[in-house]
Structure 1
Amino acid sequence: MDNTRIVVAGAGSIGCFVGGSLALAGRKVRLLLRPRLNDRVQVAGLRLTDLDRRDRSLPPGGLDLSTDPAEALGDAGVILVTVKSGDTREMARLIAEHAPASAIVVSLQNGVDNVPLLRALLPNRTVVAAMVPFNVAQSWPEDAAPRFHRSTSGAVTIEDGLDRLRALLDVDGLPCRAHPDMAGLAWSKLILNLNNALNALSGLPLREELSQRPWRLLLARQMAEALAVTRRAGLRLPKIEGVSPAMIPHILRLPDVLFGIVARRMLAIDPQATSSMAEDLAAGRRTEADFLQGAVVRLAATHGMKAPMAETIIAMVAECENGARRWTPEEVARRVADARDDAKPIPQPS
């Protein structure tokens, strides 16, 4: 399977890091990417760095690049879908139109809705659930290769029982392992990804945000709300990177000194790293708040519950999309408190 054509469909931060790592290991990789990034990589190449101090480069001409979906997908054996959740439907259409029916489609996306959507839109194809637990930040130094930096830790995870595919994706700098419950793991990761929006609202690097207890308390409340919803829905949430999602709110509530000791691994983040949602806001792109916090809101409604904190965060991110600003944790807490008051039932006269 080593000679299988791997197409990274939607090569942005995650896609370029994953595709570049596979290419460096000798895999046959093609990146389907936007024209601006394509032009820069054609001239300057690609640089991959990580938290473990790897610093590797692919020279100009060292990658197969395309901006044309028909050209990129035409001989695909494995398609790694790395587009944002809002673009999943369109990517499914392109795969259906241009990719061989035998191509294996692997979702490396955030959220819990993408794999079911891909399976519904590509009913006669193999669609595999996968998860990327780490954050990748991109930068474009002047007159140098675009840099894609893995700023947190973790291994790519795919469905159990696909040993040949796992081996194909398991390379130096990009470990890949299998898990028997990818649907549950997707919800575990979504619980962690709820911080993406808070980090975007804060305007702070992730490490600095998590070092401040007021922000951690907000994140703990947001996670606790989501955990209550998943319990009502009867979902089992497996450990992610060795940690149970149910334990994380308790850890987040610890005083700063204790948190720094207990959560050393959680704080093993590049000092300047921000969430992907913060990057999206800074670049004027659509965010995934409606696919992260929104999934909690929709699941709550299905089970007769409300998720006022998730609803509030979605609204605040939408405000930032229309004009970026930084929020203090006190401002966020006040908005959440107001939303909780609005969510209370109005007493009926006796």
Structure 2
Amino acid sequence: MKIVVIGAGAMGLRYGVLLQEVGNDVQFVDTWEPNVAAIRKNHGVEVTRDGENPHLVEINVCYPEEYHDEPELVIFFIKDMHTVEIMERCKHFIGKNTYVLTNQNGYGGAEDIAKFVDRKKIIAGTAMIATVMRGPGKVDFIGKRGAGHVHIVKVEGEPDPFIYKVAEEMEKALMHPTVCTDYMGTVWTKLVFNSVVNTLCTLMNIRMGEFAAYKNAKELSRKLIYEAYDAFDAEGIKMEVGRDELVEQIMYVSEVSNPLHYPSMHQDMTTNRPTEVDYINGAIVRLAEKHGLQAPYHSMLVDLVHLKEASRQYEQN
């Protein structure tokens, strides 16, 4: 399969490298100049797994304006707030038969992609795979090979032969995909997961296992999840799992699967980049307000993350 990965960051590299290893023709497109320069200089990316065994994986990377072929699949891993900007730069190589896969963290990315691509050609979903960017041209795959799983779902329409073709390539790469049928339920379930772990670990500057070790971690999770699910019920969204089941999932992933992992929002905060909190907790607040409800816990977390973002200027002085 001819694949272009837009965004050679942590998750883009994870997906692209794994799919390249099983025989796909993968091209990376990126806009972060230090990253592009480092990969080109080294003729590849330095990959570690859990911080060990650094080795070079040969990959090709270019800027959007430099790529002019037409891929079968585009994998889009750009922060939600930059979706439209980057799609504008990449739209020239997305043909009428090209599918676009996005596993972005928040809600709204797929909707912005739909301004450029037929909704029936968009595959959304979620990724329970931890990966960290260690610097330009350096990525760390967290967890043993085959750890984690991916859910993919068409934004509009029933699963078609192409989504199963994508799933087949993912399975070869040990990404353990599940093809789902409910776009809203799939995307919002992962968003709520992120609204707890990503946000709280970022605010407290802790790893997922350290969050889970707190005596009231489960109760904190429950309050945030229940508040979010009230909004989903009002919208008529059928979630993949129930409220209490998601609480248990958060605790299990934090305690057992990825206890040493700093979530992606934490990585953005510590590298002085804008966070996606408005597309995660903020999306829950907006959905609640749409139905005349309040989401005070999530609203407070949005303000606290933005306060922490603003406070970074004082830490640097």
2:290 corresponds in structure 1 to: 302
Whether the 8 Å CA contact 1:102–1:125 is kept in 2: the answer is: no
Equivalent AA in structure 1 for residue 211 of structure 2 = E
Residue 113 of structure 2: which of 109, 112, 118 is its match?
Answer: 118
Secondary structure of the corresponding residue to residue 4 of structure 2: strand
| Structure 2 counterparts to residues 32-71 of structure 1, below 5 A | 32-33=29-30, 34-44=32-42, 45-50=44-49, 57-59=55-57, 62-66=58-62, 68-71=63-66
**Distance (Å, rounded) in 2 between the aligned partners of 1:41 and 1:250:** 40
Identical aligned residues as a percent: 21
Whether the 8 Å CA contact 2:13–2:139 is kept in 1: the answer is: no
**Distance (Å, rounded) in 2 between the aligned partners of 1:251 and 1:274:** 17
| Structure 2 counterparts to residues 11-160 of structure 1, below 5 A | 11-33=8-30, 34-44=32-42, 45-50=44-49, 57-59=55-57, 62-66=58-62, 68-72=63-67, 74-123=69-118, 126-140=121-135, 146-151=138-143, 153-159=147-153, 160=159
**Distance (Å, rounded) in 2 between the aligned partners of 1:86 and 1:251:** 28
Q: Identify if the C-alpha distance between structure 1 residues 163 and 247 changes in structure 2 by more than 3 Å, giving closer, same or farther.
A: closer
TM-score (norm 1): 0.77
- Let me know the Cα RMSD of the aligned residues: 2.7
Q: 1:125: how far off?
A: 7.2
**Distance (Å, rounded) in 2 between the aligned partners of 1:200 and 1:165:** 33
2:232 corresponds in structure 1 to: 230
2:308 corresponds in structure 1 to: 320
Whether the 8 Å CA contact 2:105–2:191 is kept in 1: the answer is: yes
Q: 1:165: how far off?
A: 2.4
1:175 corresponds in structure 2 to: 176
Whether the 8 Å CA contact 1:206–1:269 is kept in 2: the answer is: no
**Distance (Å, rounded) in 2 between the aligned partners of 1:245 and 1:49:** 36
1:274 corresponds in structure 2 to: 262
Q: Identify if the C-alpha distance between structure 1 residues 247 and 64 changes in structure 2 by more than 3 Å, giving closer, same or farther.
A: same
TM-score (norm 2): 0.85
Q: 1:269: how far off?
A: 3.8
Q: How many residues align?
A: 301
Larger Rg: 1
1:9 corresponds in structure 2 to: 6
Whether the 8 Å CA contact 2:68–2:92 is kept in 1: the answer is: no
**Distance (Å, rounded) in 1 between the aligned partners of 2:122 and 2:225:** 29
Structure 2: give runs of 5+ residues left out of the alignment.
154-158
**Distance (Å, rounded) in 2 between the aligned partners of 1:172 and 1:165:** 11
Q: Identify if the C-alpha distance between structure 1 residues 30 and 230 changes in structure 2 by more than 3 Å, giving closer, same or farther.
A: same
